[in-house]
Each structure stands twice: as structure tokens, then as C-alpha cells.
Amino acid sequence: MEHRIIDLHVHSTESDGTLTPTEIVSAAKAAGLSAFALTDHDTAAGVSKAAPAAAACGIELIPGIELSTEYELPTRAGGGKEVHIVGLYIDPEHPLLIEKTNEFRRCRDARNEKIVAALQREGFSITTEALLAANPDSVITRANIARFLYDSHQIRSVSEAFEKYIGDGCKCYVGRFKVSPMEAVELIHAAGGIAVLAHPLLYHMNQTTLQHLIDELKEVHLDGIEAIYSTYTTGEEQYVKRLAKENGLLISGGSDFHGTNKPTIQIGTGRGHLYIPYSVLETIKEHLRAALRTKNNAGEQIGKCLKPLFFGHAFIWRGQTNCKGLYKKIADDLRIQFPIDDDIVLISLDGAIALVIRIIDENRVLTV
């Protein structure tokens, strides 16, 4: 058994965890982890806060995020299922990622105000100001609201808040703005990351529906699936690993640690039996290296076919990455978006890899 262990699904106070990003690093060190991914809900703001502490104690920090999405079930008209997509090795400062996560936060803030108003109508003593005071510098989620009600002795347990009041379909529940799982995968790819379908068995889909979801995600180049998870039985883990193999997906794994908001789950070990070897991360890294090689090779091939006609514009191109018929493909599929610079071209290869190149001449380019 490999001694180096990792955890690729961890939450801090930047979303609905109870440990700060630096406290997460200390917990990871105490648990003997070699690496962990900070994957807060709809924000990567904690990564920069955790990075100095991780570097100081020699733990590998993977910048991550967990995006909440809404999946329209193929057999359920007018309804959907919440599905989470984890991003690993994202660029936390990517402009599009920042723009979208800021939008998510604005929508969440508006939702929280509506939930608070609904709880007040039910007789609870709660205000948005009190919530913010109890959770400084945090993204307020339903978990924070439930914790507030419990800590102020207005309910008997955190779970009661979800079961009776703010859980899906309950009297104080308010829907929220979500992107689709496919849009989340594309956003993660745009930010340079690996996209992973999180805890697929928690969605309680039958095998046909789950495979349908995976098929749709594969169309936008889903990279992996969370096959090792705190709540899985041995049989469930083997089932998801088989799904990964059958669908050509990477295996990822994580505890989904939230601190005392999920008191039975510990970082690195989950409920005591979780084991994620470092080899899982090595496979993911090799996938990233291969993608980078593909991007660079494609850049060289495209450069051989570009003509001065395209100078001075930004393009998005989705198509083949080989040279055969490439010039015609560029002519047919390039869509002018907006000027960037005199010699900058933005290209998306197969919808998966964002490639920015600087044209030197009609036969040579540099990747930027």
C-alpha cells in the first residue's frame, strides 16, 4: 500500500467549511497528507490564502473549485438535479473564472436574503447582518444558515434546518442561479483545469440516467469522475471505478471535508476508511502534461496554415487539430469575435483547450 496519501475535495470558510484556508493546511499536515485540493463552492479565493502555509510546511496544494450546476433530467420535464463539478489545477486568477464566480456570489447573496426573509416569516430570529457577523470573510451558504440557527438554539440539529425548512422543496427553500454541468466543464477548461464529476452516487440516479449525464459531459470533454469518496462502500467504489474505465475517464477522490459542518468526515480519511494514493494525482498530472503537449503541437500545425488574412483579429475555432484540410477548416469555422492585438489569435481546440498564440509570420507562431 502506497504511503503517500492525498485528498482532492476539501472545503474551507471561503464556502461552507468551518476551517480557514490556513487551518485546512494545518489539518492536512496533521493528517499526513502529501497533497490536497482546496475546492470551495463556486470560489477559488481561498487558494492564495492557503498557498503560503502549504509551501511553508511542504504540502502540495492543488488550486481547485467545486461548481454547483443544474442538470435537466432527460425523463423529468421541467425539473432538474443539482450536480457538482470539481475543477483541479485551475488558474484562480483567470478573468473568466473570476467574472463567473463573482456572478455566482451576487446571485447567492440575493438568494440568502430571500431565505432569511422566509425564515423570519416562520418566526426565526435571524438577519443577514447577524449571519455575516457570525461568518466573517466567508461565502454564506445554506450550511451557514443552518449552523446559525443551531448555534442560536433555535433548532435541535443542523440537519433539522434542511429537513424542515431550507432543504430542497421545503417551505423556506429558494432556488438559485446555476449553470449546466456542461457549462461548468467548459469554464474549468477555460481556466486551465481538469474537470471532474463529483460524488456521482449522491445524485441517486439510476444507471441509465447517470450514464446519460456522463455521455453529455463527455461531449464537452469531461476529464474524470470522483470514484473514491467518504461515503462509498467498497462495492460502490468499485462500481464508479468501472464507470471511469468504461468511459475513458480519470479517477479522482476526496473526503468532501467541511470541518464541523460534516463532523463525521475527516480530511484525508473521510469516515475512517478513505484511502486515496498519490498515484491518483500522478495520473492526473500526466493527463495535464499530455494536454499541454497536444496544445503545443496543435499550435505548430495551425501556424503552418495561418495566413496574413487573419492578422489583427481574435478568433475562436472548434475543429480538428491535424494539418489535413486545416486551412479550409479555419476558413469555414473561424468566427471573428473581437480585436485583441495586432497579432493575437485565441483558439479553442475541440472545445477543450484554450490556446492563445502570437503570429510571427504565416508559417510560425508562439504560444503565449
Asked if 94 and 30 sit in the same domain, the reply is: yes
Tell whether 322 is covered by a domain.
yes
Residues 205, 211: Cα–Cα separation, whole Å = 9
Q: Are residues 169 and 298 in the same domain?
A: no
One domain for residues 360 and 252: no
Domain-located, residue 175: yes
* C-alpha 361: how far from chain center: 38
Judge if 195 and 120 occupy the same domain: yes
CA distance 140 to 118: 16
Q: Residue 358's domain spans which residues?
A: 294-367
138 Cβ partners below 8 Å, 6+ apart?
13, 14, 15, 144
343: pLDDT strictly greater than 60: no
78 and 189 share a domain?
A: yes
Same domain assignment for residues 209 and 334: no
For the chain, how many structural domains are there in total? 2
Q: Are residues 252 and 203 in the same domain?
A: yes
218 in any annotated domain: yes
Residue 281 resides in a domain: no
The helix/strand/coil state of 27 is helix
Q: Per residue in 152-187, pLDDT tens? A: 999 999 999 999 999 988 999 998 777 899 999 999
Q: Any idea what the CATH number is for the domain that residue 231 is in?
A: 3.20.20.140
Q: Read off the pTM.
A: 0.75
Name the least confident of 59-73, 234-248, 317-331: 317-331
Instruction: Give domain status of residue 288, yes or no.
Output: no
Confidence (pLDDT) at 351: 39
Which has more pLDDT, 225 or 348?
Answer: 225
Same domain, 188 and 100: yes
Q: Mind listing the pLDDT tens digit for each residue in 221-268?
A: 999 999 999 999 999 999 999 999 999 999 999 999 999 989 999 999
Q: Are residues 267 and 315 in the same domain?
A: no
Residues 353 and 204 in one domain: no
Of the residues 250, 276, 302, the one at which a domain ends = 276
- Are 93 and 129 in a shared domain? yes
Is residue 285 domain-resident? no
